Structure 1
Amino acid sequence: MKTLKCWAGALAGLVLGVGAAQAAPPPAEVFYRDADIAEAVLSPSGKRLAITSAKGAQRAGLVVFDLNPGGQLKRVAQFADGDVWRVQWVDEDRLVFGVVDSSEGSGRSTAPGLFAVNADGSKLRQLVRRMYKPFINNGDTDDERLLDWNHWLLSVPTPRAAAANGEVLVAHVALDDEHVQTPMWLNTRTGRSRDAYFDPPAHTVHWLVDAHGEPRVAFTQYKGRQAAYWHAPGATGWSQLYDSDLLAVPFGIVATDDAGGLYVTRTEGPQRYAVLSRYDFEHHAPETKPLVTAPGFDFDGQLITDDAGRLLGVRLRVDGQTTVWFDDAMKALQQRADRLFPGRINQIDCRRCAAPDMVALVRSYSDRDPGRLYLFQASPAEGEKNWRAIGPVREGVKPEQMASLDLQRIKARDGSDLPVWVTKSPAAKGPLPAVVLVHGGPWVRGSEWSWHADAQFLASRGYVVIEPEMRGSTGYGDAHFRAGFRQFGQAMQDDVADALRWARAQGIASDKACIAGASYGGYSTLMGLIKDPDLYRCGVAWVALADLDLYLSGSWWVTDDISKTGRQYGLPELVGDPEKDATMIAANSPVKQAAHIKAPLLLAFGEDDRRVPLAHGERLRKALREAGNEPLWVTYPGEGHGFALLKNRVDFAQRMEAFLAKYLQPAQP
């Protein structure tokens, strides 16, 4: 039996020095293999730690550490056909989790089911079926209690350190375009379920519950409208908070507390940045005084409370993750961690927070280090130290071989604010060949200050990586987000070009550049070669959106996962109306503009992709052939919108590496 020390590194190894230059960059597998520690969750008492890891096995299993002096570790759940995923403690002795299987690629949609097991490995029970997977017979014959795969874990009531808690809240999800959710209670020890009797508003598709699993907000969606309803503690009915179009929500809803308070986000200022406020039920609107602001960024975070529901702080994302503690003891612990692990983000997850016997798990990471886990015990047993190292998240990644990440705020050609991420080796001198890496979505935030496999891999090969947060991206104000509406291939694409031109003007990038990206980033790659052929020597696009007509209108002959609601009410405003904007759409559809692509192009697709079906790639390949520009082409059987198998991730990375080197000829990394 292994002990905790087998997983721990010496504290002397916490200081990361910069070693001598390596003869060769790390192999692609270092960047793209799964993490050694995927999840780590403290038990309610802080006396146990659950970790998911494939260390010593072919699949990620569930390992539980006994954190008491002399405690041991035990692998309590392991499956031959899947990886343990999304672990939560139900109480001090029982855990729940799902099991995902990507061994055939990412293209097969498989629901994770739900399982429960005791912390000592006993009483393993399957509660919800997995899609396409048989019942796992563990000696329990009560499989008639199994719920179908379309039941999803909704909430685990806050575990109490000394109390048993057998039930979790699951939602039955209707298998239609509405995906209405109906909650029910599920006993993790017996497998029995019972109705939750919430009497929800019609067309409820999502829930916000409090720490005890009681419903507080129901979100509905129907015929292009969405609404939110409030259920106050002790109330018998629901009151409407808002009703709006899909893209015109008046405020966001973040969290609720045990006292019946509601925390929401609203926008303020010319850029309409989201700020956190309390909701004023008397005036039926968010309070005008914000609780938390993040200048230059939207509020994106969560409240941190103790077992009694007391608000301890707020964790939010600005350029990177940060925590604002309201509690003095937690402020002191944060300062202590930051002194011990300087120059890093030290994220604290605590039990009995701020108490004299507090236990905390600290994930310490940076742009060059995926992270290391440490355990802090405020009142350790005699002979034990306050801090213990658990281990690295990715053991193979050597921080001294990694690049630095920096966020710049520049001006686009129309004067708009444009955030740009730059990844570059700190040892690099002068301008480098550039890879402009465009994020997918596009209605998401692209990056934050942490370690990222694609950018680090490219930087290790001698490139500076430029990642623009073009308009349409979220996280930088509602004005920045809405400036991307109906701007595919237009102002959004101009932002991408402006980021590269800025990097050249600053002496960061040389005159040699290629453009790359996946999904929307793949679309932007294609449009970059069409609109700005003078900027890029080549392009790499994978799972790339290539045919806007197919994306916006769908096809009887091509199956995808775009909902009817999305096509009818969302995409016409975000991208364009297939009929009213037909001319604009044709001018910005890579398939129809393929003759303008003259640069070499590497295309990669998953053969079972339902978000951007293979037909996008096949139609583009045909158009390029007819134009006399045969692309390099690779498809991966079984893969969907992204590559799940390590062999495919490594294969594509190596193809991209060779392709870029041919046209950019980087100096020795």
Structure 2
Amino acid sequence: MKKSFWLGVALAALSLAQAPARAQPPLPLERFFQRPAVLDAKLSPSGKRLAITTSRGTTRIGLVVVDLEAEPKGRRAALFSDADIVNFDWVGDERLVFNVLDLEAGSGEDQRYAPGLYAVNADGSDFRLLVRRRGLPFIRDGSSTRDTALEWNHLLLRVPLPQDGVRPDEIVVGEMSFSGQELLSITPMWLNVRNGRTRSMGLGDAPRNATSWLFDSKGQPRLAGVRSQGRSSLHWRGPGQDSWRQIVESELLREPFQPSVVDDSGTLYITHRSGAEGYAVLTRYDFEAGKPQTPALVSAPGFDFSGSLVLDRAGSRALGVRVETDAEQTVWFDPAMKRMQALADERLPGRINRLSCSRCGAEDMVLLVRSFADRDPGRLWIYEAASQRWQAVSRMLDDIDPQRMASVALERIKARDGRDLPVWLTLPAGVEPGKPAPAVVLVHGGPWVRGGHWRWQAMEQFLASRGYLVIAPEFRGSSGYGEAHYRAGWKQWGRAMQDDVADALLWARQQGLANPERACIAGASYGGYSTLMGLVRHPELYRCGIAWVAVTDPFLYLKGSWWVDDDISDQGRRHMLPELVGDAERDAAMLSAASPLVQARHIKAPLLLAFGEADLRVPLAHGERLRKALTEAGHPPEWVTYANEGHSWRQVSTQVDFARRVERFLGEHLNKP
């Protein structure tokens, strides 16, 4: 387990300005759906070591620690034969904690097992199991710590930042309590990563049914969140205070602000809605006034604030703020970090260069740079300020040539009722000017999330590599584009939300980008639902549809069933979904008109349906019921299910098989004259 290991890839020898390739056969689809070569990377607090989760040289994702010396040396700190290390963090400069999942088992595992928690020294010694995995106890090298480990219902909440004069031995974990699938509370406690012992956190009169917590850099709990009976409340205990006090209470869907981070001085940073469109902005909370401070610290016109403050290692001051608009950027307050960002952007132009640092701003600081773009999954670099030396570390994915990838752009168009409608386009390379491309309208899931980002995304790039224009609308109901845009989608499943999807395709046709006769609609989860309703409501627009893990029966989604297991909470069903989607009783007529199952006789275009047999978010019953209805209507779909997969495809074999089916299906139905 201590074999010397180094991830070095000679990125400096790779030119980012290669000449465009002439006509070549499409890249093998396996390239797009491979296991990442590097999952994550983090500098140790001192900047002397770099930890990386990687599958290089193995079939599993292990944890590698590299000593950043003149000649970097690395070794595997942890590697398992039947599990993958998926999340990790440094506890001081010598020890790490991490979770595992069996990525070969499929995404159904998430819904049946907890990921466990382990600790190990940077050199691979003193391995300890801290929290068991439910159903899958895990022993490595005969470790006897299983008997003293915490039960599976404990999760990592916070790894404190290093404090002067304090040995970094403890982390914060939370003990979860449940009623069925419903999370009732999380109780924080200290856990020693060297001996596995726990001790009380001294929560005092904190609310006992809190399910969310916010900690300062020392691991002290400052904010507790409670959700109960359709209401939400936040409770605060600042530095030097003995008691907790409630600072806000509201309905679940009408929370006046969202907590972001708290620093060691007791400043609470929050996001709240501002202006006519209700864009989220970042500001401080004014405890005396009991409301957000104005003016905002950070706003992003046209977008909700989405990002985070970048704090120094002491947690005492903000170095800058990382925010995503159409693309990610970091605005630095610290002059030294602002200079470093300019240096990285000059060396790696036309890319997003995300900096993380140890000894930030000092003359001997060490930077980890993750440099990525819409056409490049990303590369890792190390920069040492003292020697002004750049070191190439690794690609995130292997065998992806950026010159053969598609470009990504965000357009702002108008929906038929005048609403601003953001639309992401993935533009296939090599399309002749003035020659519209066959199109795939790819509808994101959620639906109350932001779907598109300016970065490399596997499905979009795969479809574009086959010559398809990918149109991905941020239909009303999507988050990230203001409260008004989000609320405009309430109770609009299959209605105005569906019109937005159609309007995105119609706009692309008017611009001469999309072939007016050759388009298919596709998506997963809500996107799968929208695919089905697109074939119901706008059959003239689409030659075919591809829907996976799709909601097909809104009544089953809203009401649940004694006979069908799912993971939708009682609180969500009682207090949120009736407003977001509809009330199963009062809105029955509306929901029937927007039900693919009820409207199955109107789905006549070729359709590919795929489901995970272990899906608890959209159970297999959704697919089976629609398949039966379509068959009875004389239009049976193409059908595939995947054992051990849940609401996403995790196994590489599943992703590749599904992509191959998509490629064949689109080729058959879109490439015909």
Provide the TM-score with structure 2 as the length reference.
0.97
After TM superposition, the structure 1 = structure 2 runs for residues 110-509 of structure 1, keeping only pairs within 5 Å, are 110-160=113-163, 164-176=167-179, 177-199=182-204, 200-308=206-314, 309-380=316-387, 386-429=389-432, 430-509=435-514
Structure-1 residue corresponding to 2:629: 623
Q: How has the CA–CA distance of structure 1 residues 602 and 161 changed in structure 2, closer, same or farther, with 3 Å as cutoff?
A: farther
Q: How has the CA–CA distance of structure 1 residues 143 and 12 changed in structure 2, closer, same or farther, with 3 Å as cutoff?
A: closer
Residue 53 of structure 1, CA deviation: 0.7
1:306-339 deviations in Å (ceiling 9; x for gaps): 1232211000111111100011111111011111
Residue 34 of structure 1, CA deviation: 1.4
Residue 449 of structure 1, CA deviation: 0.4
- Secondary structure of 2:247's counterpart equals strand
Residue 159 of structure 1, CA deviation: 2.6
Residue 272 of structure 1, CA deviation: 0.7
- Secondary structure of 1:623's counterpart equals helix
Residue 27 of structure 1, CA deviation: 1.1
Residue 163 of structure 1, CA deviation: 5.5
1:39-79 deviations in Å (ceiling 9; x for gaps): 10100001000001111111100000000123311011011
After TM superposition, the structure 1 = structure 2 runs for residues 458-607 of structure 1, keeping only pairs within 5 Å, are 458-511=463-516, 512-607=518-613
The answer to whether the Cα contact below 8 Å between 1:433 and 1:464 also exists between their aligned partners in 2 is yes
Residue 472 of structure 1, CA deviation: 0.5
Whole-Å separation in 2 of the counterparts to 1:140 and 1:466: 52
Residue 16 of structure 1, CA deviation: 3.6
Q: How has the CA–CA distance of structure 1 residues 391 and 14 changed in structure 2, closer, same or farther, with 3 Å as cutoff?
A: farther
Structure-1 residue corresponding to 2:94: 93
Q: How has the CA–CA distance of structure 1 residues 160 and 358 changed in structure 2, closer, same or farther, with 3 Å as cutoff?
A: farther
Is 1:656 the counterpart of 2:645? The answer is no
Residue 179 of structure 1, CA deviation: 3.0
Structure-2 residue corresponding to 1:68: 69
Letter in 2 for 1:527: M
Residue 10 of structure 1, CA deviation: 4.2
- Secondary structure of 1:656's counterpart equals helix
1:242-261 deviations in Å (ceiling 9; x for gaps): 10111000111111111111
1:272-297 deviations in Å (ceiling 9; x for gaps): 10111111111110012110010110
> Of 602, 622, 639, which aligns to 1:633?
639
The answer to whether the Cα contact below 8 Å between 2:176 and 2:183 also exists between their aligned partners in 1 is no
Q: How has the CA–CA distance of structure 1 residues 10 and 54 changed in structure 2, closer, same or farther, with 3 Å as cutoff?
A: closer
Residue 22 of structure 1, CA deviation: 4.5
Whole-Å separation in 2 of the counterparts to 1:101 and 1:3: 23
Letter in 2 for 1:78: L
The answer to whether the Cα contact below 8 Å between 2:429 and 2:467 also exists between their aligned partners in 1 is no
Structure-1 residue corresponding to 2:33: 32
Letter in 1 for 2:370: R
Provide the TM-score with structure 1 as the length reference.
0.97
> Of 662, 665, 669, which aligns to 2:671?
665
- Secondary structure of 1:179's counterpart equals strand
Whole-Å separation in 1 of the counterparts to 2:31 and 2:138: 35
Letter in 2 for 1:256: V
Whole-Å separation in 1 of the counterparts to 2:263 and 2:165: 22
- Secondary structure of 1:38's counterpart equals strand
The answer to whether the Cα contact below 8 Å between 2:404 and 2:429 also exists between their aligned partners in 1 is no
Q: How has the CA–CA distance of structure 1 residues 135 and 427 changed in structure 2, closer, same or farther, with 3 Å as cutoff?
A: closer
Whole-Å separation in 2 of the counterparts to 1:481 and 1:645: 33
Residue 8 of structure 1, CA deviation: 2.5
- Secondary structure of 1:332's counterpart equals helix
Gaps of 5+ in 2: none
1:394-434 deviations in Å (ceiling 9; x for gaps): 01211111000000000000000000000012421221000
Letter in 2 for 1:100: L
- Secondary structure of 1:648's counterpart equals helix
Letter in 2 for 1:77: A
Number of aligned residues? 662
Residue 506 of structure 1, CA deviation: 0.5
Residue 160 of structure 1, CA deviation: 4.9
Letter in 1 for 2:104: S
Letter in 2 for 1:484: G
Task: Report sequence identity in percent.
Answer: 54
Whole-Å separation in 2 of the counterparts to 1:607 and 1:620: 15
Letter in 1 for 2:511: Q
Whole-Å separation in 1 of the counterparts to 2:227 and 2:324: 28
The answer to whether the Cα contact below 8 Å between 1:92 and 1:162 also exists between their aligned partners in 2 is no
The answer to whether the Cα contact below 8 Å between 2:62 and 2:85 also exists between their aligned partners in 1 is yes
- Secondary structure of 2:377's counterpart equals coil
- Secondary structure of 2:650's counterpart equals coil
- Secondary structure of 2:224's counterpart equals strand
- Secondary structure of 1:647's counterpart equals helix
Whole-Å separation in 2 of the counterparts to 1:344 and 1:29: 25
Comparing 112-121 and 139-148, the one that deviates more: 139-148
Whole-Å separation in 1 of the counterparts to 2:21 and 2:288: 64
Residue 24 of structure 1, CA deviation: 1.1
Residue 188 of structure 1, CA deviation: 0.3
Whole-Å separation in 1 of the counterparts to 2:99 and 2:164: 23
- Secondary structure of 1:642's counterpart equals coil
Residue 451 of structure 1, CA deviation: 0.3
Residue 139 of structure 1, CA deviation: 4.3
1:87-139 deviations in Å (ceiling 9; x for gaps): 10001000000010132221133211000000010000000001221241544
Letter in 2 for 1:297: F
Whole-Å separation in 2 of the counterparts to 1:297 and 1:204: 30
The answer to whether the Cα contact below 8 Å between 2:476 and 2:497 also exists between their aligned partners in 1 is yes
Structure-2 residue corresponding to 1:79: 80
Gaps of 5+ in 1: none
Comparing 389-398 and 425-434, the one that deviates more: 425-434
1:179-210 deviations in Å (ceiling 9; x for gaps): 31001110000011112121321320100111
Comparing 97-106 and 32-41, the one that deviates more: 97-106
Residue 300 of structure 1, CA deviation: 0.8
Whole-Å separation in 1 of the counterparts to 2:184 and 2:40: 29
Whole-Å separation in 1 of the counterparts to 2:130 and 2:199: 13
Q: Which contiguous aligned blocks of 4+ residues in structure 1 show a shift greater than 6 angstroms? A: none
1:433-454 deviations in Å (ceiling 9; x for gaps): 0000000000000011000001
